[in-house]
């Protein structure tokens, strides 16, 4: 679809969106290389990265929350977790007072390997962010938060995934 040129602001917005798309593609490739490095399928590695990240933030995931984060059905997530647990990469624990709640934890052997892989990424990203003033980072954090909210809204309201075995509705 052709867009009329609206000058500098429109060009800047296009460059920002191009940069976000490129970063997303690069991060996907980074996760793919993590998968190769560990000898995992890319979906399994993405799930493991989510589990590790959530642990680092002090908010470990449940299987249901992981399923939401990686956009898999509960059945597909269960199969993925069985593979990761069978390979010794994760453990399912029942550490909540409600013993029905399952918490996903990375294993002792995979954490050092993940730190080895992600360490250079964390160092370089922190160094890059350190070149920006706190106010600039706050504005960018707001900007990214609003974009994410817009995308979440689009996905839940206008681009709902079809149920398995059905076709996506045609758009007019």
pLDDT of residue 97: 79
Question: How many Å apart are CA 89 and CA 106, to the nearest integer?
Answer: 6
Q: Domain holding 77: CATH number? A: 1.10.10.10
Tokens of 28: 């996907």
Tokens of 50: 């989510």
Task: Report how many domains make up the chain.
Answer: 1
Residue found by looking up tokens 């920006």 in the block: 132
Residue 159 lies in a domain: no
Residue 54 lies in a domain: yes
Nearest to 105 by CA among 55, 58, 153, 63: 55
Residue 13 lies in a domain: no
Residue 80 lies in a domain: yes
6: DSSP letter:
-
pLDDT of residue 172: 54
Residue 33 lies in a domain: yes
Residue 83 lies in a domain: yes
Domain range for residue 42? 21-129
pLDDT per residue as tens, the chain (172 positions): 555 555 688 999 999 999 999 999 999 999 999 999 999 999 999 999 999 999 999 999 999 999 999 989 999 999 999 999 999 999 999 988 787 889 999 999 999 999 999 999 999 999 999 999 999 999 999 999 999 999 989 888 887 766 555 565 555 5
Residue 5 lies in a domain: no
Question: Which sign, positive or negative, has the C-alpha torsion 54, 55, 57, 58?
Answer: positive
Q: How many CA atoms lie within 13 A of 76 on its CB side?
A: 12
Residue 71 lies in a domain: yes
The residues near 89 (Cβ < 8 Å, ≥ 6 apart) are: 38, 40, 48, 106, 107, 109, 110
Tokens of 162: 């079809």
Strand spans (E) along the chain: 90-93, 103-106
């Amino acid at each position: 679809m052709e867009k009329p040129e609206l000058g500098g602001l429109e060009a800047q917005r296009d460059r920002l969106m191009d940069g976000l798309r490129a970063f997303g593609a690069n991060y996907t490739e980074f996760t793919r290389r993590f998968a190769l490095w560990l000898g995992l399928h890319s979906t399994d590695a993405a799930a493991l990265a989510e589990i590790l990240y959530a642990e680092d933030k002090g908010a470990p995931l449940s299987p249901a929350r992981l399923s939401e984060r990686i956009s898999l059905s509960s059945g597909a997530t269960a199969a993925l977790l069985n593979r990761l647990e069978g390979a010794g990469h994760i453990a399912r624990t029942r550490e909540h007072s409600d013993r029905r709640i399952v918490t996903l934890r990375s294993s002792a052997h995979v954490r050092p390997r993940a730190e080895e892989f992600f360490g250079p990424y964390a160092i370089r990203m922190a160094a890059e962010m350190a070149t920006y003033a706190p106010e600039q980072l706050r504005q960018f954090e707001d900007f990214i938060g609003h974009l994410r909210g817009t995308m979440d809204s689009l996905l839940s309201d206008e681009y709902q995934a079809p149920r398995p075995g059905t076709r996506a509705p045609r758009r007019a």
